[in-house]
Amino acid sequence: MVTNYPDRYQSLGSSATHSGLRILPILITLIIAAGISGGIVTKTGNYWWFLFLSPLVTCIAAGLLFTIDSSTTTARIIGYQILWGIGVGCIFQNVLVAIQAEFEDDEELVPQASSLVPFINQPYSMAGSIFANRLHSNLKTYAPGLSDEAESAVIKSVTAIMDLPASFRPGVIQAYAKSLAPVFLSALPAGVLASLSAFALLTTVFSKD
């Protein structure tokens, strides 16, 4: 989300800096959600509900982000970003809490279990390939007649859109929006599996002693 979504704003003519600023809603929400959920878990000791519900919230946000196109309003996009930030923010640090609680009696296993956390990002690492493949196809559909050289430039850098003839820009922007949407579908299976994995936990609360 954070790495791919600025492309949408740049495709509409925003600078890289401005595009980065326009994803602040997700970053701010993520930080706030992480802080609030962490405070609740610290007070109650119960983290299971966050592990179960947060991935489902992320799935809902991913589904909504999938619906975006070049006509989607900024207000709706910000709302989807906030929902995504809540889902991700409430789960990320609680995964580490769950690992420590699960292996409280076998502390030597904590580093091994923690080392698996980076694999959570694997579905998102495929996003770049998904986007590039879809963009190549969608450019043929929404910007017919675009030269191979221009197409290659657009695929390599979103800023190349502003160098295209005005007649091609609307189609290329639409192609970008249509290509970006499927990227968020990679979060759906990951979110469902993450939510179901909560049922595999033997420990659902951590000791505050």
Tens digits of residue pLDDT in 141-189? 999 988 889 988 888 888 888 888 888 988 888 888 788 777 777 778 8
Residue 179, Ramachandran bin (φ over 0: left; ψ between -120 and 50: alpha; else beta): alpha
Asked if pLDDT for residue 123 goes beyond 70, the answer is no
Burial 82-113 (b: 16+ CB within 10 A, else e): bbbbbbbbbbbbbbebbbebbbeeeeeeeeeb
Half-sphere exposure of 120 (CA within 13 A, CB side): 18
Q: Taking the C-alpha atoms of 84, 90, 92 and 97 in order, what is their torsion angle to the nearest 10 degrees?
A: -170
Q: In this predicted structure, what is the pLDDT of residue 122? A: 59
Tens digits of residue pLDDT in 17-37: 676 777 888 889 999 999 999
Would you say residue 8 has pLDDT above 70?
Answer: no
pLDDT-derived band at 198, boundaries 50, 70, 90: confident
List alpha helices for 118-184, DSSP H.
Answer: 122-125, 127-142, 148-156, 169-180
Q: Which amino acid is at 175?
A: A
Q: List pLDDT tens digits, range 62-114.
A: 888 888 776 778 888 889 989 999 998 998 888 888 877 777 777 777 777 77
Average pLDDT of the segment spanning 113-135: 70
Instruction: For residues 117 and 132, give the distance between their C-alpha atoms in angstroms, rounded to a whole number.
Output: 27
pTM here is: 0.75
pLDDT of res. 86: 94
| Per-residue pLDDT tens over the stretch 32-55 | 999 999 899 888 888 899 999 999
pLDDT tier for residue 120 given thresholds of 50, 70 and 90 = low
